[in-house]
Amino acid sequence: MNETSHQTGSEVWQDLVSTALVGTDRRTPPAAGEFDAPGDTPAAALLSSAALMSAWRRAGSAGSAYSAELVGEAEGGAQTEGRDGAAPAAKSAAPDPRPLLSTATSARLTALVASRSETLPEYLGAAAKTGCRAPAELLPPLFDYARGSIAVRADLMKLAGPRGTWLAKQNQQWSTFTRYAAAPDPEAWRSDKPHERIGYLTWFRGKDPASARVLVQEAWTQTGPGAGVLAAETRAAFVEALAVGLGPEDEPFLESALDDKSRQVRAEAVRLLATLPSSRFAERMAARLHEWVRVSTEGTAVLVTLKDEPLAATEDQTRDGIGEGWVQTEDERRLAKLQPSYWLEDLIASTPLAAWEHYGLLPAELLRATAANRWEANSCHRGWRSATLRQKDPAWAEAFCAVNAANDMLELLSDEAAERWCLGVVASHRSQYSIHSTPIILSRLGRPWSDAVCQALLDSIPVYLPNATRNDVARFFGMDNLAGRWMPPSYVDAVAAKAEEIRAGLPLWAEDLDDLASMLRDRALMLAELDTV
Amino acid sequence: MAERWTAAQVNSLAPDPAGQKAGAKLGVPGPWSGIGYLEDERLLWGDCKGSGSKPYQVTVSVADSDTAYQCTCPSRKFPCKHALGLLLLWAAGTVRDTEELPERVQAWSDSRKDRAEKSAARSVAKAEKAAADPEGVAKRAAQRAERIGNGLADLDRWLADQIAAGLSDPATLSYGAVDPVAKRLVDAQASGVAGRVRTLPGTRSAAGDAWPDAVLAEFSRLHLLCQAWTRLADLPPTMQDTVRRRIGISVDTDTVRRDGERVAGRWHVLGSRDRAAEKLTERRIWLRDAESGRLAMLLAFGAMQQAPTLALPVGAVYRAEMAFHSEALPLRAQMETGEVVTTDTAAAPAGGTLQAAAEEFAAALAVDPWQEGWPVVIADAVPDRTGELADAQGRRVPLISDETALWRLLAVSGGHPVTLFGEYTDAGLEPLTVWADGSAVGL
């Protein structure tokens, strides 16, 4: 002991470890102190010393490793850079005065999220309407669920309240959810992360469109130290955010955005201006359309023709999105110069669809313009398609769906149009085509489903593919059990009655209806729980 | 009246996360028929529609001290998803109280009572037999002590040989080198030591660059056990019991019931943790007497794919009498008589600082150097997403937890001070329960 008494404890331990590594056969162990029993070998003596010293180390390590002087370092370095590298956030969550969900509801929610239940979205929506808040410990699993489901985010963030906003900011995988929060942190607008600014802007625009536009205008002209120039992508996204609550008051700003040096920004401005029929832009485009394009009918055929005189590029046209300024590759530029079809397509894509009313034909009639007509028909179809998607025009989308029910067009339908469309498909359901398209259509319906749709679906069952396989049956109700999720629970009796009616002849269908009925029963019970809150 | 369990308590019975998920799916009334609950007998039953033509018949006994399940499904998981689903329904209040038992439930309940009586009779008979033949008992104990002594002497020699030759040889701690040593200890009936030896290769690989420190520390603790056995008679009686337990000589519950120190009190359930041990699930439940501050740890085991049957809701308070195992550092106990006082988990236990926790852990190590960690309650603790905990004094300690537990803890805290229960170890604090916002949340 005397020999080592000048060593610190850590030095003694290090000495023991290095001797143990080399072996006591090759190196004399440090003096073992009062713990070596008579007759002990050097190795045994080393182990005895190590037993004492390791207890000493363990007793001290957890406390001493994080002594007060290290606190400063931890705050400087580790605090800003989380386990996941997310941005620094407010230290603590703001209080939420709303009452907690009832124990039964919380337990139900726990079970639904644990089993990733199909009924979770509806339940979240109903729970969000109660004006209560979710227990904090449920937020991480719910957030993980919401990573795969954009549709539930608004309800979830409402239920989660300020605690949820705080928590989402702590984890990069959840940080985009904050844009769905009921009241995002105004600090988000000053963030250096574009997605946080856009999230805030979109929310604010919904609340107060005029003030939100002023924010964008200010950001546009912001210069000076630290302000920096906004990236073209960010500017374009700001303009895109104005789509929420768009009105005639936005026209002057959007008109000025047509002079922006970025093509992306100009494209967004054109897109929004085209949906404002009273805008100067819309008037200019309509005037061009009516000047250059003639529409005539020959029997049921529709002919779209372009004026014979050559099209000349002018600065005005380029500013409004027609011609050279819009092509991206050298090839396109060459083609654009050669072919008037590009001009026509550009013109149609950027012209308010309302300008076509001038010709006295419905969208469905115009779409009858076929390739047999002239090359113009192709350009027209492409142009209309772009215009419909850009201007999110439900009437044109419905006309397109009648020709071909593509997903992007179905999304634009109004709820009533989607329902009309769905009823049409169900009424003419005997083709393979409709089996495959039913899930798409069902997924587009307003939720919960209307009585007309539910009744039509049930009525169609005996006649619909009596020889259906189990797969066909599953498809009919849509992927992910759409009927179970969105048929109103009040249909349970009708479903059960239908099952009995067809059980003898169509046992497969009847079983499927049994499952549907039991799911509706569960949902009715769960929703009733919420009503008693 | 005993209260119904919480959903969290039901989930803690699940043998694994997949089972929990499957159970949650069945926790809706849809597939169920003929469900009922008899409060007096704490019996719960129902029929669950499965993929077959006949529904599965499920019966559950939900007595706190005597949970049992039966199901006609072929699953080897225990409890099966049907039992869990039924329990969730019951926890949610969907199962109505009934007055009469169906015949099959009555028969099951009777046969269980019958078996319990027989088993009690057997243990009485065993005790009587032992009392009638004290010489035989002493002889067998001496034989076992000799076997253990020989096994430990071999181990101590092996340890010293490794240290003499040096630990740097990677073959020293390979599975092939360690396994025969462990097997020898199993033969010598020193299962506790055998288990420690078996984990040596794991200790080495888990410690990373610091493996020489970790391995030498564990070697020295094993050496200490071997030495303690040779001088057992010189040690104080309670220390003798600690050494015996560490070596693997178990004490049966009847002995503890008869001889153990009895402490009656209002025991607050602080936390619960499951760990997969060799072919077993080991559950630890920590409680603290609100008045004396005395800590107790209950230990329960579940066989493979089975959850331990002991499940106390975290945050609840029991008026109970504990029988403690004799130890230098008495912690392990069994609950003898107990009834739940409240399952309202709002009241947080009194907590201390990280400084105090470190001191308690050091004091525990001073008495029992083989102690892994020490249960502590920290007040005004603020976790952050770097995985650290700060207390009111600004001290910090790393949190030992997986991502799920850490995010749960962060969500509950919201950056505000909370009361936290966990196990304090030399590597940091493993958080197990957090109190905030009027309830206790298990992590």
pLDDT at B229 over 50: yes
Which pLDDT band holds residue A71 (cuts at 50, 70, 90)?
A: very low
In a domain, A209, yes or no: yes
Mind telling me how many Å the CA of A75 is from chain B's nearest CA? Answer: 10
In a domain, A220, yes or no: yes
Q: Do residue A151 and residue A216 come from a single domain?
A: no
- From the list B333, B335, B316, B314, the residue with the least C-alpha distance to B325 is B333
Q: Do residue A432 and residue A511 come from a single domain?
A: yes
Q: Do residue A178 and residue A197 come from a single domain?
A: no
Mind telling me how many Å the CA of A202 is from chain B's nearest CA? Answer: 26
pLDDT at A449 over 90: no
Q: Do residue A288 and residue A398 come from a single domain?
A: yes
Q: Which of B22, B220, B385 sits opposite A50 (nearest CB)?
A: B220
Whether residue B408 contacts residue A140, with contact meaning beta carbons closer than 8 Å, is answered with yes
Q: Does A140 touch chain B (CB under 8 A)?
A: yes
pLDDT at A197 over 90: no
- From the list A513, A518, A448, the residue with the least C-alpha distance to A485 is A448
Last residue of a domain, one of A403, A427, A459: A403
In a domain, A89, yes or no: no
Q: Do residue A270 and residue A288 come from a single domain?
A: no
pLDDT at B381: 93
Q: Do residue A227 and residue A306 come from a single domain?
A: no
Give the number of domains in chain A: 5
pLDDT at A519 over 70: yes
pLDDT at A324: 56
Which pLDDT band holds residue B101 (cuts at 50, 70, 90)?
A: confident
Inter-chain touch A114–B21, beta carbons under 8 Å: yes
What domain range includes position A134? Answer: 103-183
Mind telling me how many Å the CA of A155 is from chain B's nearest CA? Answer: 18
**Cα B91–chain centre separation:** 23
Q: Residue B419 and residue B429: Cα distance in Å, rounded?
A: 13
In a domain, A309, yes or no: yes
Last residue of a domain, one of A374, A403, A432: A403
pLDDT at A333 over 70: no
pLDDT at B196 over 80: yes
Residue B296 in 3-state DSSP?
strand
pLDDT tens digit sequence for B375-423: 999 999 999 888 899 999 888 899 999 899 999 999 999 999 999 999 9
In a domain, A171, yes or no: yes
pLDDT at A77: 37
Contacts of B395 in chain A (CB under 8 A): 63, 66-68, 71
Q: Do residue A424 and residue A526 come from a single domain?
A: yes
Which pLDDT band holds residue A228 (cuts at 50, 70, 90)?
A: low
**Mean pLDDT of all residues in A281-310:** 83
Q: Do residue A287 and residue A398 come from a single domain?
A: yes
Contacts of A139 in chain B (CB under 8 A): 411
Give percent above pLDDT 90 in chain B.
40
Q: Where is pLDDT greater, at B45 or B49? A: B45
Whether residue A396 contacts residue A365, with contact meaning beta carbons closer than 8 Å, is answered with no
- Please, what is the average pLDDT of chain B? 87
Q: Do residue A284 and residue A393 come from a single domain?
A: yes
Which pLDDT band holds residue A74 (cuts at 50, 70, 90)?
A: very low
Which pLDDT band holds residue A75 (cuts at 50, 70, 90)?
A: very low
Whether residue B297 contacts residue B333, with contact meaning beta carbons closer than 8 Å, is answered with yes
Q: Does A42 touch chain B (CB under 8 A)?
A: yes
In terms of CA atoms, which chain A residue is nearest residue B409? A137
Q: Does A45 touch chain B (CB under 8 A)?
A: no
In a domain, A93, yes or no: no
Token readout for B190 is 């020193």
Q: Which of A20, A83, A112 sits opposite B216 (nearest CB)?
A: A20
Contacts of B28 in chain A (CB under 8 A): 111, 522, 525-526
Distances in Å between the alpha carbon of B341 and those of A176, B1, B40, B345? 45, 10, 18, 11
Q: Do residue A424 and residue A482 come from a single domain?
A: yes
Mind telling me how many Å the CA of A104 is from chain B's nearest CA? Answer: 6
In a domain, A110, yes or no: yes
Contacts of A16 in chain B (CB under 8 A): 216
Last residue of a domain, one of A162, A183, A204: A183
Q: Residue A425 and residue A418: Cα distance in Å, rounded?
A: 11
Distances in Å between the alpha carbon of A161 and those of A87, A145, B180? 20, 17, 59
Contacts of A53 in chain B (CB under 8 A): 220
Q: Is the Cα torsion angle B127, B128, B130, B134 positive or negative in sign?
A: positive
pLDDT at A331: 66
Q: Do residue A262 and residue A241 come from a single domain?
A: yes
In a domain, A480, yes or no: yes
pLDDT tens digit sequence for B107-152: 988 888 888 888 888 888 887 887 888 888 888 888 989 999 999 9
Q: Residue A152 and residue A168: Cα distance in Å, rounded?
A: 15
pLDDT tens digit sequence for A180-190: 776 666 777 88
**Disruptive mutation site among A24, A54, A492, A518 for chain B (greatest number of B CBs within 10 Å):** A54
Q: Do residue A284 and residue A397 come from a single domain?
A: yes
